Amino acid sequence: MTDRFVAAIDQGTTSSRCIIFDGSSHILAVDQREHRQIFPRPGWVEHDAAQIWARVQEVVAGALGKAGLKPSDLAAVGITNQRETTVLWDRATGRPVHHALVWQDTRTEALCAELAGDQGRDRFADRTGLPLASYFSGPKIRWLLDHVPGVRERAERGELLFGTMDTWVIWNLTGGAVHVTDVTNASRTMLMDLRTLDWDDGILADFGIPRSLLPEIRSSAEVYGTGRGVLEGVPIAAALGDQQAALFGQTCFSVGDAKSTYGTGSFLLLNTGKEPVRSHHGLITTIGYQLGGEAPVYALEGSIANTGSLTQWLRDRIGLITTAAEIETLALSVEDNGGLYLVPAFSGLFAPHWRPDARGVIVGLTGFAGKGHLARCVLEATAFQTRDVVDAMVLDSGVELKALKVDGGMTANNLLMQTIADMLDAPVTRPFVSETTCLGAAHAAGLVAGVWPDLDALRAEWRRAAEWTPRLDDRVRDRMLRKYRKAVELAKGWIDEDDLEVEGR
C-alpha cells in the first residue's frame, strides 16, 4: 500500500465530521462538530449553511491536528453529505439568501400535489426515478424562489447559485472557484435525467427553475478542483451522497450487492448495474456511483422512517429502558414476541408502502404480554420493514438477495442483526470499519489519487467483523411475516380529514 493519507468530509444532518484514513483504510483521526437544528414551524426543518461551512473548517483542522498532519500530507479529500438539503447563495458574496431547507422539511407537500396534477406523483418518474415528494431538492428550490422576497428576480439575473451540501462545501473549499455536484446528489434533485446525466430542461420549465442556478454535474470520482485555506492545495477528488457513499464503502460493486444503514431511520440500497431499474413496487431509482468517465452504476433504494427511533421512543417516551443498549437484554428475557406485532408508522409508512395516512399500531395484545415481549416486537419491526423493502427490490430487479451488508449504530445489537438474518433468510454481515460513509468517500477520492489502484484492491481491504446466518424454521418465519402484514393493513387509512384538521395541516 502507501503511506499517503486521504481525508473524508461527512457533512451530515446533525453534524459535520472529518476522518483521515491511511493507505490501508485504517482510521488515523476523527473530528466532529454539531450544528444547529432550526424548526420555524411544525414540519419545517432548516440549517444555517454559513454555520455548517464554519463547522466543516473546524473539523478538518481538528482532524489534521489530531493526526499530526499538514494539508500537504493528504493525497486527496472526498466529500459525502446529507442529500436533498437545499441552499441558495449569492455567487458574488457567498452569502446564503435563506436558511437551507433540510431533506426532512415537508413545507413543499402542497406544491408537490399541485405539480402532480392529473398525471399523479409519478409524473417525472420515467426520467428521474423519483416520485413527486417534499423529500427532494427540486420542490425546495421552487419554494425558495416563490417565497423569499427578491430571490426569483436575482436568480433569473444569474446572481444566485443552488447546491446540495456537497456543492456548498466544494464551492467554499475552492474559494468559490468550482460550482459542481456529482451524479448521486444530482439524482436526488428531481431535476436530472437518469440516462443523460444532465439537467432536464422540460422539468426545469415545469418547476420554473432557471438553469443558471444549477451546478455542473460531474462523476463521483474525479478532481473537481484544489482546496484553499484549510485544505490548501489538496485535490478535491470525490463526492457522493451519504447512502451512496456507504454503498461504495461496503464494496457493493457487483449487481445484487446490497447494504443497509441502520440509524434513526434506515436506507437499503441494491446495486442494479449499468441500467436504471424503474421501480413499480414503492422504491426509488437512483445512481449508486460513477467513476470518472465510466458508465454510471445504478441502484434501487428503500427508505424506512422509523428503526433506531423506535428504541429512542421506548426509552424517552415509554420509559421502559434507560439506555438504548438495554433493549437487547430486555428482549432476550423472553423466548419470542408473545404474539405482539408493532407497525411503527409514526408519521406514515415509507417504502415500499408510501401511505401518509397510516399510523402506528400494536396488535396481538393479551394478558400474557409483558415488557420483554414489547421490547422484542420493537426490534422485530425493523427486521419486518427490511424484509418488505427487500421483497420489493426482488420484484423490481429480479435479483435475489444473497447477503446483506449492514452498518450504522443499530448493528451493535446482535439480537436485531440475527432477527434480520432470520427474516431475510440470508446472511447479514457487519464490516470491521463501521464508518462506511466516510470510508466510501475516502476510497473514491483515493482511487483518483492512486492511493488504491482499483476496485479489487478495495474489495481486498474490506474485512468482516461479524456475520449472522438464518436459523429460523421456515414455517415460523412465514407465520410471523403473515401476521406482520396483517398488522400493516390495520395501520393503513387511520388518518382522515378530521385528523388533518387537528394536526393543523
As annotated, the binding site includes 13-15, 17, 83-84, 135, 242-243, 264, 308, 312, 409, 413
DSSP state of 99: P
Q: How far apart are CA 12 and CA 419, in angstroms?
A: 29
Q: In this structure, are residues 200 and 138 in contact, taking their beta carbons and an 8 Å threshold?
A: no
Strands (E), 215-320: 216-218, 221-226, 235-241, 258-262, 266-273, 284-289, 297-304
Q: How far apart are CA 460 and CA 167, in angstroms?
A: 31
C-alpha cell at 403: 447477503
Q: Which positions make up the binding site for sn-glycerol 3-phosphate?
A: 13, 83-84, 135, 242
The DSSP line for 303-323 is: EES-SHHHHHHHHHTS-S-SS
Dihedral in degrees, nearest 10, Cα atoms 197, 202, 203, 207: 140
Q: How far apart are CA 255 and CA 258, in angstroms?
A: 9
Q: Is 343 helix (H, G, I), strand (E, B) or coil?
A: strand
Cα-to-chain-centroid distance, residue 237: 21
Any bridge partners for residue 397, and if so which? none
Q: How far is CA 37 from CA 34, 47, 427, 437, in A?
A: 9, 6, 37, 22
Question: Is the bond leading into 352 cis (omega within 30 degrees of zero)?
Answer: yes
Q: Which positions make up the binding site for ADP?
A: 13, 17, 264, 308, 409, 413
Q: Is 23 helix (H, G, I), strand (E, B) or coil?
A: coil
- The runs of H, that is alpha helices, within 148-299 are 151-156, 165-173, 183-186, 201-207, 242-249
Q: Which positions make up the binding site for ATP?
A: 13-15, 264, 308, 312, 409
Q: Which positions make up the binding site for glycerol?
A: 83-84, 135, 242-243
